[in-house]
């Protein structure tokens, strides 16, 4: 969480200056190598340092990665990204659970989970730059190579002269770059930003809260964990037709309401059991749907000139909230430990006297 707070505001600005591709690959590789290093950490201090670096990398590539994905595909394809993302995310969660059954040593488990990340080194040759960024920065030669490569891959013919004239029109009409100050000065943008910050904050708290307590949903621990992970696949699949026939805003609103009722029922009926398990799993389903629709809504509703800054703030505020909650929990635990230690010390003094 601390790593996310440190890197998110900086990296989004760098991606506007130097491109999405570079600002995606560097944090990605930092997360991969730091995670592998965690399995070899000689002390707890080194482990925390490597985890901090891994957090910086993970927050960086997830932030830039979503913007890069949305800028690399058409609007009708963006909904399909949810299914791909859900399958890969759930596959990773299931892999952790399965490997935990067979590997008891945490170092080996950490290494086996992190080592496949080395395959991402091939992204240096496979991953192209964002077309939107190249057009905005007038990278004519790079745009030409991209169009030629894309047209060859899709087996279509594109008139480069027409693309060039269109790009020149966009560049001639391009407005000045906006900053965070410009965002907060616009009352309408600021209003929507505050609303979506609250939504993202709730989504983060619900998701990670359900993830942490997933092992307590069943008596054996593994059943609840696997169900909590697998429910994300049908959630992503059902989102595709919903997004096709309804708007992003409509789905986000009603799913948010159902998420609230599911969480309320989970509080009223706590504990492990088949009946009690229904409500947290339902909440996870609705929360997953929101993790598909809400980022799409935010990305598509924000103006191009402030999209990166807008999305940066959307991710920064939930990270800050989670970090403050964690710090409060640590301080509460620390204060309780101090009180217990003082009580034991007083009893020892009385016994000695």
In a domain, 275, yes or no: yes
- The number of domains in the chain is 2
Cβ neighbours of 62 (radius 10 Å): 16
Does the pTM surpass 0.95? The reply is no
Same domain, 208 and 317: yes
Confirm if 179 and 309 have CB atoms less than 8 A apart: yes
* Residue tagged 């708290």 (tokens): 205
Query: pLDDT tens across 146-178, in order?
Result: 888 877 777 777 766 666 655 455 454 444 566
CA distance 110 to 90: 18
Distance between first and last Cα of the chain: 48
Same domain, 119 and 214: no
- Residue 242 in tokens: 């919903």
In a domain, 296, yes or no: yes
CA distance 232 to 220: 21
The residues, any chain, with a CB within 8 Å of residue 346's CB and separated by 6 or more, are none
pLDDT at 352: 63
CA distance 250 to 131: 30
pLDDT at 173: 44
Domain span at 29: 1-123
pLDDT at 46: 92
CA distance 239 to 162: 36
Query: Which stretches of the chain score pLDDT less than 70?
Result: 1-6, 8-9, 159-180, 182-183, 221, 303-312, 315-353
Q: What is the CATH number of the domain that holds 108?
A: 1.20.1250.20
In a domain, 44, yes or no: yes
pLDDT at 95: 85
Least Cα distance to 301 among 70, 63, 69 occurs for 70
Q: What is the DSSP letter of 92?
A: H
Q: What is the CATH number of the domain that holds 192?
A: 1.20.1250
The residues, any chain, with a CB within 8 Å of residue 149's CB and separated by 6 or more, are 128
């Amino acid at each position: 969480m601390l790593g996310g707070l440190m890197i998110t505001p900086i990296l989004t600005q760098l991606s506007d200056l130097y491109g999405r591709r570079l600002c995606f690959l560097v944090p990605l590789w930092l997360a991969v190598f730091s995670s592998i290093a965690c399995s070899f950490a000689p002390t707890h201090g080194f482990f925390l340092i490597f985890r901090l670096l891994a957090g910086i990398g993970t927050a960086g590539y997830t932030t830039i990665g979503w913007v890069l994905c949305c800028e690399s595909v058409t609007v009708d394809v963006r909904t399909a990204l949810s299914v791909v993302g859900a399958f890969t995310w759930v596959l990773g969660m299931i892999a952790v659970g399965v490997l935990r059954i067979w590997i008891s040593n945490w170092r080996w488990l950490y290494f086996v989970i992190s080592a496949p990340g080395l395959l991402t080194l091939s992204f240096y040759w496979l991953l192209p730059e964002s077309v939107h960024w190249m057009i905005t920065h007038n990278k004519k030669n790079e745009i030409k190579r991209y169009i030629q490569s894309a047209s060859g891959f899709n087996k279509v013919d594109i008139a480069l002269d027409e693309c060039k004239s269109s790009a020149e029109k966009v560049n001639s009409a391009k407005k000045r770059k906006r900053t965070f100050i410009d965002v907060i000065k616009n009352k309408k943008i600021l209003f929507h930003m505050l609303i979506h910050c609250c939504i993202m904050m709730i989504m983060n708290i619900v998701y990670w809260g359900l993830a942490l307590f997933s092992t307590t949903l069943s008596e054996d621990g593994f059943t609840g964990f696997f169900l909590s992970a697998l429910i994300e696949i049908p959630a992503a699949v059902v989102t595709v037709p919903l997004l096709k026939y309804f708007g992003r805003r409509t789905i986000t609103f009603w799913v948010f309401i159902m998420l609230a009722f599911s969480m309320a029922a989970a509080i009223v009926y706590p504990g492990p059991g088949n009946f009690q398990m229904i409500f947290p799993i339902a909440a996870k389903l609705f929360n997953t749907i929101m993790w598909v629709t809400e980022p799409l809504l935010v990305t598509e509703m924000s103006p191009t000139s402030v999209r990166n800054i807008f999305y940066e703030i959307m991710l920064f505020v939930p990270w800050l909230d989670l970090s403050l909650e964690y710090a409060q929990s640590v301080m509460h635990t620390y204060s309780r430990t101090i009180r217990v230690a003082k009580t034991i010390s007083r009893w020892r003094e009385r016994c000695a006297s």
